Structures are given as structure tokens and as C-alpha cells.
């Protein structure tokens, strides 16, 4: 697990309390889907206690995965891919070689993990 940076709790205290709660709800929805099951007063706690940190590269990689529909290494572009991977495109990741246990949690109103994913495992 990544150690969170100091900006997430600061963001939560500034944008997720009082009259600024609505922008916080919109940002939360953009990453998590519906907030129907989250009480508005919980927004401050969620953003201040968020256990994970993330980088812009991680977000860009997630966007690459969504666009391609494939599970690949990070795409650095034509030239850098050749230097890093020995090929011009980002290589696929062979999920059959993953040995770590994996758990997927989902909820009926989860925008990121559709319920049908449980049948794919």
C-alpha cells in the first residue's frame, strides 16, 4: 500500500466541509461513481482518511487501460517503449502468471466494478 501524501487530507479539510461539500461530492463521484450510499458528512472523513496515495502516472496508466481495453504495461510512446521494453508498443501483461491472491469487491451502484465481473472470475 502506498503512503498517502499530505495533500489528500488538506484537500479534504478545505473542499469537503461546510459550504464546499458539493465540489467534493462531484470529485468523489468522478472517481467512484454514485454517492447514494455515502452520507454527505462522511465525505470529509473519506478524503482525510484515504489510505492510498497515487501518482499522475498511475492515473494516466489507468486511462490507457480503459482506452485500450487490454491489460498492458505503461505506454511511454513509440520511442521510449522500444528502449524500455524492446518493442514499440507497450507489452501485454500475462495474467495467468500472476500468483498473488486477488480479491475484487463491488457494490450494486459501483461505477468502476460492474456486478457482472464476479462471473468472470
Which one has a higher pLDDT value, 1 or 81? 81
Of the segments 58-62, 64-68, 117-121, which one has the largest average pLDDT value? 64-68
Query: What pLDDT, on a 0 to 100 scale, did the predictor assign at position 58?
Result: 81
Query: What pLDDT, on a 0 to 100 scale, did the predictor assign at position 60?
Result: 87
DSSP 93: P
Query: What pLDDT, on a 0 to 100 scale, did the predictor assign at position 32?
Result: 59
Report the predicted TM-score, pTM, of the whole model to 2 decimal places. 0.51
38: closest CA among 18, 21, 19, 13?
A: 21
pLDDT of 64-99, one tens digit each? 988 888 999 999 999 999 999 999 999 999 988 989
Query: 67-92 burial string, b = 16+ CB within 10 Å, else e?
Result: eeeeebeebeeeeebeeebeeeebee
Amino acid at each position: 500500500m502506498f503512503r498517502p501524501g499530505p495533500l489528500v487530507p488538506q484537500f479534504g479539510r478545505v473542499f469537503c466541509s461546510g459550504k464546499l461539500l458539493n465540489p467534493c461530492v462531484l470529485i468523489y463521484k468522478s472517481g467512484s461513481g454514485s454517492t447514494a450510499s455515502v452520507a454527505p458528512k462522511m465525505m470529509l472523513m473519506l478524503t482525510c482518511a484515504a489510505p492510498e496515495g497515487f501518482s499522475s502516472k498511475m492515473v494516466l496508466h489507468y486511462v490507457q487501460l480503459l482506452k485500450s481495453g487490454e491489460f498492458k504495461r505503461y505506454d511511454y510512446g513509440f520511442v521510449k517503449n522500444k528502449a524500455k521494453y524492446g518493442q514499440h508498443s507497450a507489452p501485454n501483461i500475462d495474467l495467468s502468471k500472476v500468483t498473488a491472491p486477488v480479491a475484487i469487491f463491488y457494490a450494486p451502484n459501483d461505477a468502476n466494478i460492474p456486478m457482472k465481473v464476479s462471473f468472470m472470475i
